[in-house]
Amino acid sequence: MPFWKNLSVIRKIVQVVSFLFLVYGSVIIGTYAADKISQALPALSCAYDTKTGDYCTLIPFQHQMDHRIGRAIEAGTDVMKALVPFFVTFMTFILMFVVLNKAFCGWICPLGFFQEMLTIIGKKLGLQQIESVSEEKVKKVRPVKWAMLGLLVFGFPLLTGLGFMDKSLGSPFCSICPSRIMTTLMTGDVSQLYVDTSSTGYMVLSIIADFLFGLMLALGLTMRQPFCRICPMLALHAVFRKVGLVRLVKNAKPRCEKCGLCAKACPMDIKEIHTDMVNKDVLFPDCTLCGRCVEFCPDKDVLMMKYTVFPIFKADPAYFKERKKAQTKWEKANLISWWKSRKAVAATSGDKS
């Protein structure tokens, strides 16, 4: 299958370009420009990375809750004035988010791409893959992202500004975010992979950060998108997904009830994409708009990605057959299979001699 016809390959190219810009971009555009592009990117691009081309909206949200809004309320000063920077960040985020919707997760986010690379490495090493997480476990995990958004991004920073919590909780999500460790390590900076002993609060957060990063590395080799499932940015996207211009639409057919290939292809284990036979809008809260469900739908136009009312990618039987062959060939190629075939060839050559 030619790469220019394969949506997954096209997406990987976009992800690589986005990764290079968001991790190393300031080398080209300059540190000052990188700091001023938006400061409100709807993806986990880290401000701790000194070479980043732009950084995500979660760190200014936390700082504004702590240093501006919380402290203004605590001091009894003009709260409306303190809210202005928050609304500027918020509106910048919305303006950017509307353009690509949740595709910022599936196509742009450096940490999402990094996790996909971990899974590819695991497959090529021949490690046993967890193809699908059970529906019961998925339901248990889903609320975590909302708790992280509410508590770590907004709640604890605001309470810190009000004086109710230790200053270590002024930006707690950034303190534990795996993207902070991953992006800095990618630039050769090991300063974020440490245990901070300056206070009990910072020490606990740094231990959690190291643990989360290590857990993501371990899980990422055998399962798809482990951290994405609890990411507060995914929750923030879910809140505003209705205003985004990119849509995921389903025109259900009776055969859908027996098929289920879309749910199997989904890296976020969204079973509803298969079971929902009523709603046309199937851009569910956990969706990252990667497009894999559309790629692996065998029935014409049942699933499609749209930009407003214009179809940009549709399910197609001919595409499905080609894509399935390409996927099967790709999955068969791994280190264990290569080693076994090498040993078999060597044994055959030895018998002949």
Which value, in Å, is the radius of gyration of the alpha carbons in the chain? 22
pLDDT higher than threshold 70 for residue 353: no
The per-residue pLDDT for 278 is 94
- Which string of DSSP letters, residue by residue, matches 107-137? II-HHHHHHHHHHHHHHHTTPPP-----HHH
Q: Is the pTM of this model over 0.85?
A: yes
Rounded mean pLDDT, 105-119: 97
The per-residue pLDDT for 252 is 94
For residue range 260-313, list pLDDT tens digits in order.
Answer: 999 999 999 999 999 999 999 999 999 999 999 999 999 999 999 999 999 999
Rounded mean pLDDT, 73-98: 94
Least confident of 26-35, 44-53, 55-64, 153-162: 26-35
Nearest CA to 224 among 290, 298, 157?
A: 290
Least confident of 25-34, 93-102, 156-165: 25-34
pLDDT higher than threshold 60 for residue 223: yes
CA separation for the pair 219, 221 (Å, rounded): 5
* Eight-class DSSP state of 96: H
Helix (H) or strand (E) holding 294: helix 292-295
